[in-house]
Amino acid sequence: MKILLEKPKVDSTPLFRLLNYSLDGLRCYYTLISALKLNIFESLKTPKTLDRLSKEYGCDKKLLLIFCRVLCKLGLVLRDGEKYVASPLAKIYLTKNSPFSQKFYVEDTARNVELWMNLPKILRKGPVSLKAERFFSERAVHIMAQQALCGELQKTVEMVASLPEFMEARRLLDLGGGHGLYSIAFTKINPKLKAYVFDLPKVTEKTRRYIRMFKARRVYTISGNFFKDDFGDNYDIIFSSYNPGGKKIGLIPKIYGSLKRGGLYINKQIFPDKCPDNPLLDLEWNLWVFDGMEKGEKTYSFKDDVRMDEYLKCLEKSGFKILNIYSLPNSLEEGQMIVCKKI
């Protein structure tokens, strides 16, 4: 009887707030994923009534009405009288043929959801192993291309193009360049520049698709593993954006040797010590691993990655002069772009 008369010593409110907050996130996520699976945003490029939508999809009208209300609340659908239409946000980022579409990325998040659903098993048996080349060529290259187009690519290109040395450059290496969109943009601005995208063989197959898609000229691919293979020399600029080697001091002498005297090394990275503390993302990062590439504890980090201050010291010891360090806030973390010159 005592339990009926005395409250627990610890208030349960924080627990239920946490649970409700978590469930709300789940509800929003599955509403978005379901709308994409149903192609709702494609259909609502033009305004439609609920009756027309219900007939088009063969959906329960009452449920569809509430579903549309949720999409309106999320800012993905707008209501105009009796009609519904995709919001500008949804049209730009969630429709198939938009140049800024994030559909591939959003749909790929289902793989992360699967990891979390298997968390008890992974905690007992260890992380899921993925083939690095397959991951980068089938998933990462397209996800990073879509995300870059949302503003970070344009901002980065503008900053690089403003450097006095850029318009004088004739040869640029895009190290671990994946989709090649940076190289494509650089050659659009500098008509005398030739850009070479270096990445794994299966990744450069996808690079060539992007080169054809954008009808780019003077953009070429070099296939290899930059940890093991030579990537050429006599470059005016070596550019690197978020590739796994960008925090490893062992690559610095190789990069230095591939540049002309006075050449620029531009490295855009997320350094472990510059990441906000987020144990949830750190855990997710470590739920899966690449074959042959041991990860670090922090998100986007690998074994033997160094802190930013240590990386800068190693650049200077190798003969680079640090010209500038730019902050590049993106949708996930705080990126840092280091610009240095071979002296």
Chain segment 131-169, per-residue pLDDT in tens: 888 888 888 899 999 999 999 999 999 999 999 999 999
Structure tokens at 270: 């997320």
pTM above 0.75? yes
Of the pLDDT bands very low, low, confident and very high (cuts 50, 70, 90), residue 331 is: very low
DSSP conformational letter for 295: B
When pLDDT is cut at 50, 70 and 90, the band that residue 226 belongs to is confident
SS3 343: coil
Direct distance between the N- and C-terminal alpha carbons of the chain, in angstroms, rounded to an integer: 81
Q: What confidence score (pLDDT) does residue 340 get? A: 98
Instruction: Assess contact for 76 and 35: CB atoms under 8 A.
Output: yes
What domains, with CATH codes, occur in the chain? Answer: 8-94 (1.10.10.10), 132-342 (3.40.50.150)
Q: Are 102 and 94 in contact (CB under 8 A)?
A: yes
d(CA 171, CA 190): 11
Tokens of 76: 């993905």
For residues 261 and 272, what is the distance between their CA atoms, to the nearest angstrom?
A: 30
218-243 mean pLDDT: 94
Model pLDDT, residue 38 = 95
Q: Where are the beta strands (DSSP E) in the chain?
A: 48-49, 77-80, 83-86, 128-130, 171-175, 194-199, 219-223, 235-241, 259-269, 288-290, 320-329, 334-342
What mean pLDDT comes out for the span 168-191? 97
Residue 105 has pLDDT above 70, yes or no: yes
Largest Cα–Cα distance in the chain?
86
Q: Is the pLDDT of residue 280 over 80?
A: yes
- The CA distances from residue 10 to 6, 13, 15, 21, 23, in Å, are 12, 9, 10, 20, 23
Per-residue pLDDT, averaged over 100-105, amounts to 93
User: So what's the pLDDT on residue 243?
Assistant: 87
Question: What whole-number distance in Å separates Cα of residue 226 and Cα of residue 334?
Answer: 25
The token pair at 226 is 């930059």
Residues in the chain: 343
Token pair recorded at residue 24: 């709300």
Angle at 224 between CA 212 and CA 259, to 5 degrees: 90
280, β-bridge pairs:
none
